[in-house]
Amino acid sequence: MNSIRLLVILVFMASGYSYGSNEFFLEAHAGEYQAENIGSEARNIRINASFGLEKFYYGSKYTPAAYVGLHQGEDRTNSFQFIITNNGEKDKRLIAGYRVIENGEEVKYESLEYVEMNERVKIKIEFNDGLVEFYLNNGSCIKVKTNLEKVRPYISVSSGAAKFLMSPNKSLKNGTREELRAP
C-alpha cells in the first residue's frame, strides 16, 4: 500500500508543476531589468496572462514597466513586447501598449489604453509565423506583422516589481504549439 502511494506521489511530482507554478514575481530596482523565459522556442505560441506592477522604483532613465513578450534568438534584440509602464512619479496611471524590436531598435510602438495603477491587465497573445494577434482585457483583436519566425515566450520587469499569472506550457495537437494560460 505504501509503495503505491509513493508511486502516485512521484508520478504527480514528475508530471508537472505545483499549484504555485503559474505565478511569477520579478523585481528590478531603479535602472535595472530582469527577465525570465517561460517556455520553449516554437513557430506557433499562445499566451494567456494576467499581470500588474506592484512596486515602482523611480530615479533612473528606465521607467517602471512590466512586459509579456516573445523573442527570437538568445537575446531580446528581435522581439514583440506587450508592456504596461508608468511615465513618472506624477503619473497616476499606467499606459498599456506594445512595441516591436528589430536588431535592437524599436521599430513600432503603440499606446493602447490607460490602466489604473493597481489594476491587473489580461492579455491573450497568439503568434503564428510572424503574425502576432493579441487581445487586451478581452477587447478587439489587434494584429501586428513582425519579422519573427521562431520565438520563445518571456516575462520581464524594469525599475519595479510585477506579478504574473499564467499556467505551465501545454503542447497543442500538432506538437509545435505551446499554450500558456492565465488561471
The distance in angstroms from the start CA to the end CA of the chain is 34
Mean residue pLDDT of the chain comes to 84
Compare 181 and 7 and report the one with higher pLDDT. Answer: 181
* Domain 21-180 bears CATH identifier 3.40.50.920: no
d(CA 116, CA 84): 11
Find all residues with CB under 8 Å of 155, minimum gap 6, and list them.
24, 26, 35, 36, 38, 49, 51, 66, 67, 68, 69, 162, 164
Compare 163 and 13 and report the one with higher pLDDT. Answer: 163
* pTM as predicted: 0.80
- Predicted confidence band at 6 (pLDDT cuts at 50, 70, 90)? very low
The residue extents of the domains of the chain are: 21-180
Q: What is the structure's pLDDT at 80?
A: 98
Residue pLDDT, tens place only, 69-126: 999 988 889 999 999 999 888 889 999 999 999 999 999 999 999 999 989 999 999 9
* Spatial contact of 82 and 69, defined as CB atoms under 8 Å apart: yes
Burial of 159 by CB count in 10 Å (0-12 exposed, 13-18 middle, 19+ buried)?
buried
